Amino acid sequence: MSRFKQAMIRFFAGRYGVDSLYRFCFVLWLILAATNMFVGSKILYVLELLVMFWMFFRCFSKNIVKRSAENQKYLAIVGKIKDFFRLKRNKWRDRKTHSYRKCPSCHATLRFPKVKGEHDATCPRCKNPFHFKI
Ligand SMILES: [Zn+2]
């Protein structure tokens, strides 16, 4: 094995590497760089550099626990956004057959068949009985 190869292995061993947050930052950086090709703003340029610096800092960091926690926070935020749009899509898909209601005590979103009138239901999550109208 060459000295260069040994040095590279020593350098990369124990480094955090690439994750979802890294990929998000890369896309953000690409968008910033592409936008700045047309705009030519110094503020965008500084932002570009900051994003790039943060990407490399995270990638080569040896504090794997902290970088992993950052990634988990990012994934939780993305998950909430995805859930929001999934619910919107499902509500639209089921608009003729089902009605969505929130449990008054735990705020879980529940789906009911669209039958006109007054209804009594029990939340499957918190077992709270409630009354609603469709
Ligand atoms: Zn509930």
Whole-number Å distance, alpha carbon 111 to ligand 1 midpoint, is 12
Helix (H, G, I), strand (E, B) or coil at 117: coil
Pairing state between β 98-102 and 109-113: antiparallel
Whole-number Å distance, alpha carbon 109 to ligand 1 midpoint, is 8
CA-closest candidate to residue 17, choices 50, 61, 71: 61
pLDDT value at position 91? 96
Helix (H, G, I), strand (E, B) or coil at 110: strand
CB atoms within 5 A of ion ligand 1 belong to 103, 106, 108, 123, 125-126, 128
The predicted-structure confidence for 42-96, as pLDDT tens digits, reads as follows 999 999 999 999 999 999 999 999 999 999 999 999 999 999 999 999 999 999 9
CA-closest candidate to residue 67, choices 103, 114, 16, 119: 16
pLDDT value at position 31? 96
Angle at 106 between CA 91 and CA 97, to 5 degrees: 25
The model's pTM: 0.75
Angle at 129 between CA 120 and CA 83, to 5 degrees: 95
Whole-number Å distance, alpha carbon 22 to ligand 1 midpoint, is 37
Contact (CB, 8 A) for 16 and 62? yes
